[in-house]
Amino acid sequence: MGHDHAHHHDPDSYREALTKVNSAFVIAIILNLLFVVIEAVVGIAIDSLSVLSDAGHNLSDVGTLALSLLAFKLMKVKSTNRYTYGYRKTSVLVALFNSMLLLLTIGMIVYGAVDHLFHPQIIPGLTVSIIAGIGIVINFSTALFFLRNKEKDINVKSAYLHLLADALVSAGLVIGGIVIYYTHLYWLDSIFSLGIAAIILFSTWKLMKESLRLSLDGVPSDIHFEEVIALIQKVEGVKEVHHVHIWSLSSIENAMTAHLVLEETVQGEQEADIKHELRHLLEHQNIRHVTLETEREDCRGGSC
């Protein structure tokens, strides 16, 4: 059963591509950490909650990037007798932790924004716009580092979406700073802070749901359970399939176990051929680790 087409979900090619992302993570961490320092200093100096909120958000992103980088390193650790899958699941747990961290950041931003809404402070809007303009350049340029591989791993996609969202937030702050400069409506600073919180929540919610599902060994979102069942049942010689379980070993590798009932006519090498064909088909569904238990239709219930 030879074939000459490539498997687009080959985890070896994933790892090769993702190792190139390591340097992107390092550069993104350094640039964003530098920007956090600039925002924090300026935000405190001019008493702008929107700038400080964005600094807090960017600081959480630095933590997200650092943890994601750590997850990639741990994924390369070999399996042991006690951890038979190695530390692959770390990548999923890090994504879940990052999403929870962002939710905590949202709570802090909302609390500060509500307080400043009732006690607005005079802030230089032009300074806010300049700092936010720097943020657009840093966040958008670092987001581009992850564009090519964003669909290959949940942590890479998380980094890309967060940095892109940060660039959009900075664009909003540029506009907000200009409006404050010309109108002197300083309470708008709190409104923009609440807008930042809403954007963070929107970009985080889907990530949190997906990482929570994978942590609970749920079926990954890119795999459709019913389609997998239908695919298996179309293979010649397969009468029935049940006890199917599909879960994520890591953020780039999926596994499946299933019990197959084969037709009475299936004998010897035919059974091996069916398993080989199924594994080949399932690779194209992004499922490489497959365990199949089989029995013939005329032997159900141990009658053979």
Distance in angstroms (rounded) separating the CA atoms of residues 141 and 125: 25
DSSP 127: H
Highest mean pLDDT among 12-26, 139-153, 267-281, 286-300: 267-281
pLDDT digits (tens, 9 = 90+) for 83-96: 888 888 887 888 78
Which residues sit opposite 50 in a β-bridge?
none
Spell out the domain ranges in the chain.
11-215, 225-299
pLDDT in tens, 224-277: 999 999 999 999 888 889 999 999 887 778 899 999 998 888 777 888 888 999
Q: What is the pLDDT of residue 302?
A: 53
253's tokens: 């590798």
pLDDT tens per residue across span 118-162: 777 777 888 888 888 998 999 888 888 888 776 666 777 777 877
CATH architecture of structural domain 11-215: Up-down Bundle (1.20)
Q: What is the residue type of 132? A: A
The domain 225-299 belongs to what CATH superfamily? Answer: Cation efflux protein, cytoplasmic domain (3.30.70.1350)
Tokens representing residue 303 in the block: 């009658």
For the full predicted model, state whether its pTM sits above 0.75: no
